[in-house]
Structure 1
Amino acid sequence: MDKTVYIRLRHRIQVHPNDVITIERIALIVGNKELTGKLKNIVIHEVQLSDKNMVVIDVMHVIKEIHKYDNQIDVQALGSNQTIVEIMYKKKKLSPLLFCIVWLLLFIGAGLAIMNFHEDVSMQAVHQRIYKIVTGKENAQPLILQIPYSIGLGLGMILFFNHLFKKRINEEPSPLEVEIFNYQLDLDQYVAMNENKENLNANNDHDSK
């Protein structure tokens, strides 16, 4: 039987407290069908309360567990070297009062930010100037320009964020989603590096003893 298997760790998975993490959950494994069928059920980690919110599983740990099962297996690792395991604890229900307070603060804050920006660039004076250029008349409140501008501002924000409430307008990610994605990548990289550093220190302390 061919004992060469290829594994590729997933970048991130989500589990629940007390879950048992097997190779099948954290990696794609290719090779002899009979052999991979057995390897998929090897337990890599059992989620405990001490794990807190995240656990990093290194490919070397996976290879070590495979070799415990059969040290004759030739494991070829591809792709990422770590899997970020996010532990999903039961979330508390959000208080309707707290939701309304946060929504009101964000609404007022966003409104003030837009108003202050318009005041800084003298938007009202610009509208008055445009109205005079087009009609030749003075108008302190050119609503014919201000109302469409306000509607267009709201529509522009909807198109920019690519969402209308929970409905996505098209499949293209919004700039906010791209920024969140980049932030998540940076966070995962930090968690992986920090976890490796802690494991290295723990091993050094163990060796010194």
Structure 2
Amino acid sequence: MDNLGKYVYAEQKRQEGTGYMKQQTVYLKCDRSAEVQAQDVFLKDVAEIRCQDPVLQAKLKAIKIYHFPKDGEKRCVISCLKLVSLMEEICPEIDVQVVGETDVLVEWICVNRHKGWQQWIKAAFVCLISFFGTAYTIMAYHNDVGINEVFTEVYRMAMGAEPGGLNTLEVFYSLGLAAGIIVFFNHVGGRRLTKDPTPVEVSIKNYETDVDKTLIEQAGREGKELES
């Protein structure tokens, strides 16, 4: 055995005798926002953990990172630096690689806040407002553009006579309006026409993203971000 081989063999024996553990790479992917239903927030609630050791992975996921006070704010911003610090404190031998967001907006949702008949009343109220509001908007638009006069003039030009009551143009216009709304919003009851997200879902997602970014930036400016 040459000198290099003897050195490697001796180093292996030394590591085995001292309980040396090879440094492991842990990948941390944080979400931009997370909702929890308990006051205690754990690492698994706000991020994904990946490593080769399943025992180490489970240990890291169980790290408690924050506790919402009962009478305090229900929202906080946690920096990934705090998460890395807590992980390295529990397991000093790991090498954490952050591959996701750098800040996480965590919100504590009280599950008992809206239950039973209150939730049904709210849903019914929203449905009524949406139905009558949409109907009024369509009628007001038709009144502004004079849709009845347009239909009457088109019928007179095509048929050479005055329309008597409900005519074909009004029927097909109503059917086309309903079909256009269904195709645009990509919904028929609870079923989708395609797998693509609807325009409403895209707008809501963009709105939520803008709100999350604004809250995170505001917490950073006010010094409320948890970094250590």
Amino acid at match of 1:91: R
Which residue in the other structure is 2:8 paired with?
none
Question: Conserved in 2, the CA contact under 8 Å of 1:128 and 1:140?
Answer: no
Larger RCO (alpha carbons 8 Å, 6+ apart): 2
What is the CA distance between 1:72 and its match in structure 2?
Answer: 4.4
Which residue in the other structure is 1:152 paired with?
176
Q: State which drifts further: 123-132 or 45-54.
A: 45-54
Query: Matches of 2:174 and 2:185 in 1, distance apart?
Result: 17
Query: Matches of 1:72 and 1:170 in 2, distance apart?
Result: 49
Are 1:30 and 2:54 matched, yes or no?
no
Q: State which drifts further: 87-96 or 117-126.
A: 87-96
102, 113, 125: which is aligned to 1:91?
113
Query: Matches of 2:225 and 2:31 in 1, distance apart?
Result: 26
What's the C-alpha RMSD, in Å, of the aligned pairs?
2.6
Report the TM-score when normalising by structure 1: 0.82
What is the CA distance between 1:151 and its match in structure 2?
Answer: 2.4
Q: State which drifts further: 25-34 or 112-121.
A: 25-34
- The 1:164/1:53 distance shift into structure 2, 3 A limit, reads farther
Question: Conserved in 2, the CA contact under 8 Å of 1:57 and 1:84?
Answer: yes
Query: Matches of 2:64 and 2:51 in 1, distance apart?
Result: 19
Q: State which drifts further: 59-68 or 9-18.
A: 9-18
Which residue in the other structure is 1:164 paired with?
188
Which residue in the other structure is 1:74 paired with?
95
Which residue in the other structure is 1:207 paired with?
none
**Structure 1 residue ranges without an equivalent (≥5):** 204-209
What is the CA distance between 1:61 and its match in structure 2?
Answer: 0.8
Query: Matches of 1:127 and 1:27 in 2, distance apart?
Result: 59
What is the CA distance between 1:186 and its match in structure 2?
Answer: 0.2
Secondary structure of 1:49's match? Answer: coil
What is the CA distance between 1:98 and its match in structure 2?
Answer: 6.0
What is the CA distance between 1:148 and its match in structure 2?
Answer: 2.0
Are 1:7 and 2:25 matched, yes or no?
no
- The 1:159/1:5 distance shift into structure 2, 3 A limit, reads same
Question: Conserved in 1, the CA contact under 8 Å of 2:77 and 2:104?
Answer: yes
Report the TM-score when normalising by structure 2: 0.76
Amino acid at match of 1:29: I
Amino acid at match of 1:173: P
Superposed CA deviations along residues 48-77 of structure 1, whole A, max 9, x for unmatched, are 334533222210110111222244432221
Give the ranges of 4+ consecutive aligned residues of structure 1 lying more than 6 Å apart after TM superposition: none
Superposed CA deviations along residues 134-160 of structure 1, whole A, max 9, x for unmatched, are 212122645211122112212221222
- The 1:103/1:10 distance shift into structure 2, 3 A limit, reads closer
192, 205, 217: which is aligned to 1:181?
205
Amino acid at match of 1:126: V
**Structure 2 residue ranges without an equivalent (≥5):** 1-21
What is the CA distance between 1:7 and its match in structure 2?
Answer: 1.0
Query: Matches of 1:189 and 1:82 in 2, distance apart?
Result: 9
Higher radius of gyration, 1 or 2 = 2
Query: Matches of 1:75 and 1:48 in 2, distance apart?
Result: 29
What is the CA distance between 1:112 and its match in structure 2?
Answer: 1.8
